[in-house]
């Protein structure tokens, strides 16, 4: 029997890995001593053994270091466990915590294997640390069955409504093996609602809160206290500590601040469940926002000539879709709704993608009007304020509308903050610009037939109205003459 040299090499590697892991388990465990590594508020959060805990922080409060230390500490204390870090997207996970996590892993000489492409670290004791994204609902099932020692969901205020399903159906059951911990971490959003906010205000969770004013490294690095930095910002913007943005970003306070939001969706005015029936049929427009790291998004708007309202009847988002997959999705929706037009963001490589989809599917795609985006946003907001634009309260548009903010760094030149990007809001905006609901005119009332009682009554009312107007006009003329020449017989 011949033995493949490649198979032997693979077997040797597996055996060597088992030997290394066995040696690591028999060696004295590395202690991170979080009390010395972290400042007080960070350490209290990291050392809290509660099954469920939250942390509400300002910007630059140091939560990245606290999260990184918690992931490593749990992996070291629970051999064979998984430490899982989740945030809205994989790119954000890499930007926020990967560098800090790697530096800690190196500085403590923990050993193991670092996989840069997978954003994963395998420790010698068999534990694994994974960083991943929550870009859409399909990501949820990836985390089923993991033996979780700790899960940290960072920037939890940005995760859509499926965060609750993720927590209840996937993450919490995975904590049983090691009696692990689930932490939701984030910054207050302009509208204090959503699942993260409900957890922050729940008595069933252990709560932590700290701000940039507790972070000693700000002064060490910049030679200025956080208060000095804040005072400079207040002078530049011409505001006080009471400004809602300052309260959220610097003091981690939940302050209702609709003026910071780009899209003025209000569930009291703009929510709907089912599209109302109409006599005249609905017409449809598709808006398509293209992406790869960002999601592709399709917004389907519908309206009828019977009313001046427009409805976001269907929303779809998907990441890393190929041209073929996206084209098939559009074909299915086209056959379902038979839209008047499909408008697509053709910026960057979007034009090539749109042309390729058109060639493959025969679907004509029109370039979206992006020149005057801020004006288009105001038109959409006018429809939201007046209750003429409707979206489902559980949909992505409603969720993202609570998170897309204006960038206040230059008040004289407003722009949308890049802190949170919504693909579906952009898609809906493209479609709204092309929708024709504004052409609505009330139907002409049907006149009664001549000689009928209704016709006689209508004629009588019209004659009374004309006579009344003539009488009032003569009285007004008489008063004007008397004002000039005095009262006369």
We report the CATH number of the domain holding residue 381 as 3.30.420.240
End-of-domain residue from the set 233, 256, 287: 233
Alpha-carbon gap, residue 9 to 7, rounded angstroms: 5
Write down the pLDDT at residue 393. Answer: 92
Q: Is residue 252 one of the residues assigned to a domain?
A: no
Same domain, 396 and 465: no
Could you tell me if 196 and 337 lie in one domain?
A: no
426 plus 476 within the same structural domain = no
Grouping H, G, I as helix, E, B as strand and the rest as coil, residue 342 is strand
In a domain? residue 78: yes
Buried b (16+ CB within 10 A) or exposed e, 14-45: eeeeeeebeebeeeeebebebeebbbebbbbb
Residues 121 and 197 in one domain: yes
Domain of 359 in residue numbering reads as 267-439
In a domain, 5, yes or no: no
Same domain, 41 and 137: yes
In a domain, 316, yes or no: yes
- Inside any domain, residue 418: yes
3 Cβ neighbours under 8 A, 6+ residues apart:
none
Is the domain of 428 the same as that of 454?
Answer: no
Q: How confident is the model at residue 411, as a pLDDT?
A: 65
Please state, in angstroms and rounded to a whole number, the distance separating the CA atoms of residues 287 and 430: 5
The residue written with tokens 């749990």 in the block is 74
Residue 344: name the closest of 289, 276, 270, 404 by CA.
289
220: domain CATH number?
3.40.50.300
Q: Is the pTM of this model over 0.85?
A: no
Please answer whether residues 211 and 61 qualify as being in contact, where contact means their C-beta atoms are separated by less than 8 angstroms: yes
pLDDT of residue 8: 44
User: Residues 295, 406: one domain?
Assistant: yes
The dihedral region occupied by 261, where left means phi > 0, alpha psi between -120 and 50, and beta the remainder, is beta
Do 216 and 361 lie in one domain? The reply is no
- Residues of the chain predicted below pLDDT 50: 1, 3, 5, 7-8, 15, 19-20, 23-24, 27
In a domain, 150, yes or no: yes
Determine the Cα–Cα distance for residues 231 and 250; give it in Å rounded to an integer. Answer: 11
**Both 386 and 468 in a single domain?**
no
Domain count, the chain: 3
In a domain, 351, yes or no: yes
The token duo for 96 is 């926020």
Angle between helices 63-77 and 40-47 (to 10 degrees): 40
Residue 19 lies in a domain: no
CA triplet 113, 114, 119: central angle to 5 degrees?
Answer: 140
Q: Are residues 155 and 76 part of one domain?
A: yes
Question: Do 219 and 329 belong to one domain?
Answer: no
Q: Do 467 and 407 lie in a common domain?
A: no
| CA–CA dist 317, 319 (Å, integer) | 7
């Amino acid at each position: 029997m011949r033995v493949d040299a490649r198979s032997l090499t693979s077997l040797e590697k597996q055996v060597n890995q088992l030997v290394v892991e066995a040696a690591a388990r028999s060696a004295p465990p590395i202690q991170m001593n979080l009390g010395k590594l972290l400042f007080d508020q960070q350490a209290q959060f990291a050392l809290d053994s509660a099954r469920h805990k939250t942390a509400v922080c300002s910007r630059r409060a140091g939560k990245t270091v606290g999260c990184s230390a918690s992931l490593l500490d749990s992996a070291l204390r629970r051999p064979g466990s998984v430490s899982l870090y989740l945030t809205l997207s994989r790119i954000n996970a890499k930007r926020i915590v990967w560098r800090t996590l790697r530096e800690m892993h190196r500085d403590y000489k923990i050993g193991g294997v670092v996989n840069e492409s997978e954003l994963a670290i395998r420790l010698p004791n068999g534990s694994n640390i994974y960083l991943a994204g929550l870009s859409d609902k399909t990501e949820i099932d990836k985390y089923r069955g993991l033996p979780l020692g700790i899960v940290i969901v960072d920037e939890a205020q940005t995760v859509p409504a499926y965060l609750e399903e993720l927590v209840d159906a996937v993450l919490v059951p995975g904590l049983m093996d090691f009696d692990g911990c689930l932490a939701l971490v984030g910054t207050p959003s302009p509208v204090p609602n959503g699942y993260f906010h409900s957890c922050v205000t729940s008595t069933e969770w252990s709560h932590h809160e700290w701000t940039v004013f507790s972070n000693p490294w700000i002064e060490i690095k910049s030679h200025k206290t956080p208060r000095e930095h804040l005072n400079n910002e207040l002078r530049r913007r011409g505001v006080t500590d009471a400004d809602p943005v300052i309260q959220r970003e610097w003091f981690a306070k939940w302050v209702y601040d609709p003026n910071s939001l780009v899209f003025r969706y209000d569930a009291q005015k703009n929510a709907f469940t089912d599209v109302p029936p109409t006599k005249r049929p609905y017409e449809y427009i598709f808006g398509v926002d293209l992406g790869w790291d960002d999601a592709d998004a399709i917004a389907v708007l519908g309206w009828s000539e019977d009313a001046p309202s427009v409805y976001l009847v269907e929303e779809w988002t998907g990441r890393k879709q190929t041209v073929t997959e996206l084209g098939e999705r559009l074909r299915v929706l086209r056959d379902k709704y038979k839209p008047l037009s499909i408008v697509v963001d053709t910026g960057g490589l979007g034009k090539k993608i749109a042309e390729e989809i058109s060639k493959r599917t025969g679907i004509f795609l029109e370039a979206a009007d992006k020149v005057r985006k801020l004006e288009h946003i105001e038109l959409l907001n006018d429809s939201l304020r007046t209750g003429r634009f409707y979206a489902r309260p559980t949909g992505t548009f409603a969720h993202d509308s609570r998170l897309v903010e204006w960038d206040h760094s230059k008040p004289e030149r407003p722009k949308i903050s890049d802190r949170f990007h919504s693909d579906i809001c952009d898609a809906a905006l493209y479609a709204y610009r092309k929708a024709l609901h504004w052409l609505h005119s009330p139907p002409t009332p049907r006149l009664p037939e001549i000689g009928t009682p209704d016709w006689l009554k209508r004629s009588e009312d019209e004659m009374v109205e004309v006579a009344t107007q003539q009488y009032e006009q003569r009285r007004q003329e008489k008063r004007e003459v008397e004002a000039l020449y005095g009262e006369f017989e």
